[in-house]
Amino acid sequence: MELYFFNTKTRKKELFQPQQPPRVGLYVCGPTVYDYAHIGNLRAYVFSDILRRVLEYNNFQVHQVMNITDVGHLVSDADEGEDKMLVGARRQKKSPFEIADYFTEAFFNHTQRLNIKDPTIACRATDHIQEMIDFVQVLLDRGYAYEISDGIYFDISRFPHYGKLSRLNLEEQLEGARVEVNPEKKHPADFALWRKAPANHIMQWPSPWGMGYPGWHIECSAMGLKYLEGFFDIHTGGVDHIPIHHENEIAQNWGFTGKEVVRFWMHSEFLQVEGGKMAKSLGNIYTLEDLEEKGFDPLAFRYLLLNAHYRKKVNFTWEALEGAQRALERLRENFLRFKEASPGRGNQKGPEQFRTEIERAFNDDLNVPRALALTWDILRGEDPTLEYYKLLLEVDRVLGLGLEQVERPPVEEIPGEIKKLIEQREEARKKRNWEEADAIRDHLEEQGIRLIDTPQGVRWERIKKKGS
RNA sequence: GGCGGCAUAGCCAAGUGGCUAAGGCGGAGGACUGCAAAUCCUCUAUUCCCCAGUUCGAAUCUGGGUGCCGCCUCCA
C-alpha cells in the first residue's frame, strides 16, 4: 500500500519512497540533556516512534539515528549567553559530563516507559568533536564559512535557499529582531559553527582555531551524515526547529555536500497545557514522573497523544488524561475478551476490511486517531475470534500500547484476614443483614480490595486505594 | 512590527466539496444486583465561531469579521 507523509518542505502530502528500499534512513532530532524531558518534549518522540513503527509496519528496515546533545548550547546568539550545560552543572554541583550522563539515562528511562523504541544509533555530540571540526574545516575550505574573533560562522549569503523551509522573508524578520547582532558577523542570520571558548569555559576542545566548542546545529549534520551514510530519507523534529535549527542544517549540509541531503522533513506540533503554552513561569511544565505521582500510567499519556494527529496542537488537561487512562483500561479489558475468546456479538466487516482500513489510516500521514477509532470498532462490536485477536496485536505494533503484555492479574492467594472478612460478609448477606455486609464491603474498598458479586459467587480484585 | 496555525457536543478529538458529521471520556436511561460496584446494551452535535459569497450540493472552497494559540530567543 502506498505511504504518504506531509513534507514540511513542500507543505504537501507526498508519496514516500526511500532512496534504497527497503532501508529507510531516519534522523530524529534528540534531546539536549541538561534537564528532565517534559511531556511536551516527549510528544515529539512519541511522534517519531509512531512514524518509525508505521515504516516498519510497511516492511521497511528503519535505521534510526538520534543525537544526544551533551555539549553546551548558548542561550542566545550574543556573547553574554549562558551555556545550558554549565547552568545545569552549576545547579547540580556536578561536572557537565555527569549531568549529561544522568539526564541521558533519565531520558531513555522515560521514553522506554512510553514504549518508544530505542534508536538504532544514539550518538553523543561530545563523542564526535573531531567529525564536527572536520565538517567546519570543509565549510571554511569551500568558502561557506568565515572566522571572526569569537568563532567560525556560516555565511548564509553563500546559500541562496536560506529560509525556504520556514518560508521566512529574512529582511522582514530582521525588522523585528529581538536579539543583539554581533557586529562582526557579515549577516545577522549567520550562525556559529564553532565557538572559541573563554579560558573558564568547562567544556572545550582543541581545534585548528584554538580551544573551543561546537555550535549548535552542527552535531546533527555531522553525525547524521556519518551514520546515515550521506542521505536522510526522513528528518524529524518539533515545529520550533523549522525556522532556525533545520534551516541552518540545510544550509551547512549544502555547503558540505553541495546538495540537499534530506528528502522528507517532518515536524510534530506542540503540546499545550490548558489551551496555552507550557512555561516555567506558569508552573505547568510536567514530567512523566509528575503524571505518575498522580497515579497515571505512562501509557495513558501515550494514548492521549495517539488520540490526536501529530500536526495538530494537542491540549493537555488533567481531565483529558483521566479520560485517556480510563479509555486505555477499557481498551485492555476489551482486548482480553479477544485473548480469551469469550463470545461476542456479530459483525459486518471482516478482519481483512478492518486491516485494510487501518493500514490506510496509518499510511495517510499517520492518521492514528482514525486507526484508533477503527480499533474501537473491532473491540466493541466484533466477534472475539483468533483472527481479530491477531489483527489487534498487529495494529498494536504501531500503537505501542503493549497489548501483548496485557493479561489478567494472576489469581493471588487471598490474605487470610481478607478472606475471613469476605466470608463474614457472605454470612451477613445470607442473613439479609445488609448493613453489616455493606460495611465490610466499604471497609475492604478502603483497603484497596474491590468485591465483584457475580452469579457464580464473589470475585475480588485489587484497585488503587481511594484518594491516592 | 513581520510570519504562520487553529476554531467540530461538557472534555479530548477525527473528518477538508456529496452516504445518517468517526472514536474515546463524561452524562442520561436500561439490563444485572438486596442495594451498589464492575460489566453489558441504548441514547447523547438537524449541525461544525459569526456574516456574506461560489456551487445542484460546504464543517470542508473564497472574502470579511471575531476569538484563541504559536513562531520570529540554542523551547519538542
Indicate if A202 and A255 belong to the same structural domain. yes
Percent of chain A with pLDDT over 90: 53
Q: Please give the protein residue whose CA is closest to the C1' of the nucleotide B38.
A: A452
Helices (H), A262-309: 288-293, 298-306
Indicate if A247 and A304 belong to the same structural domain. no
Q: In a 10 Å sphere around its CB, with 0-12 CB exposed, 13-18 middle and 19+ buried, how is residue A136 labelled?
A: buried
DSSP for A335-372 reads HHHHHHT------SS-HHHHHHHHHHHHHBT--HHHHH
Q: What is the C-alpha separation between A464 and A468, in angstroms, rounded?
A: 7
Which bin fits A229, alpha (ψ -120 to 50), beta or left (φ > 0)? left
Q: Please give the protein residue whose CA is closest to the C1' of the nucleotide B68.
A: A275
Q: What is the C-alpha separation between A363 and A27, in angstroms, rounded?
A: 19
On whether residue A410 sits in a domain, the answer given is: no
Q: What is the C-alpha separation between A214 and A366, in angstroms, rounded?
A: 35
Q: Which of A238, A268, A298 is the last residue of a domain?
A: A268
CA of A203 to C1' of B45 (A): 59
SS3 A37: coil
Indicate if A388 and A438 belong to the same structural domain. no
CATH of residue A167: 3.40.50.620
Which amino acid is residue A175, in one-letter code? Answer: E
On whether residue A411 sits in a domain, the answer given is: no
Q: What is the C-alpha separation between A125 and A127, in angstroms, rounded?
A: 5
Q: Which of A359, A377, A405 is the last residue of a domain?
A: A405
More confident residue, A300 or A95: A300
Please, which positions of strand B sit below 7 A from a protein CB?
A: 1-6, 10-15, 22-26, 32-41, 68-76
ipTM metric: 0.92
Give the pLDDT band (50/70/90) at residue A28.
Answer: very high
Closest nt to residue A73, judged CA to C1':
B74
CA of A268 to C1' of B76 (A): 8
pLDDT of residue A283: 78
Tell me the sheet residues that pair with A451: A460
Domain limits at A334? 273-405
pLDDT of residue A95: 78
Centre a 10 Å sphere on the Cβ of residue A217 and count the other Cβ atoms it contains: 24
Which residues, including other chains, have CB under 8 Å from residue A430's CB and lie 6 or more apart? none
Task: Name the grid cell of A15.
Answer: 508519496
Q: Give the tens place of pLDDT for each residue, A348-405.
A: 567 888 999 999 999 999 999 999 999 999 988 756 788 888 899 999 999 999 999 8
Indicate if A286 and A232 belong to the same structural domain. no
CA of A459 to C1' of B35 (A): 18
CA A56 to chain centre: 17
Mean pLDDT throughout A257-267? 93
Indicate if A135 and A262 belong to the same structural domain. yes
Q: Has residue A468 got a pLDDT over 60?
A: no
Mean pLDDT throughout A238-250? 90
Indicate if A221 and A157 belong to the same structural domain. yes
Which residues, including other chains, have CB under 8 Å from residue A422's CB and lie 6 or more apart? A414, A440, A444, A451, A458, A460
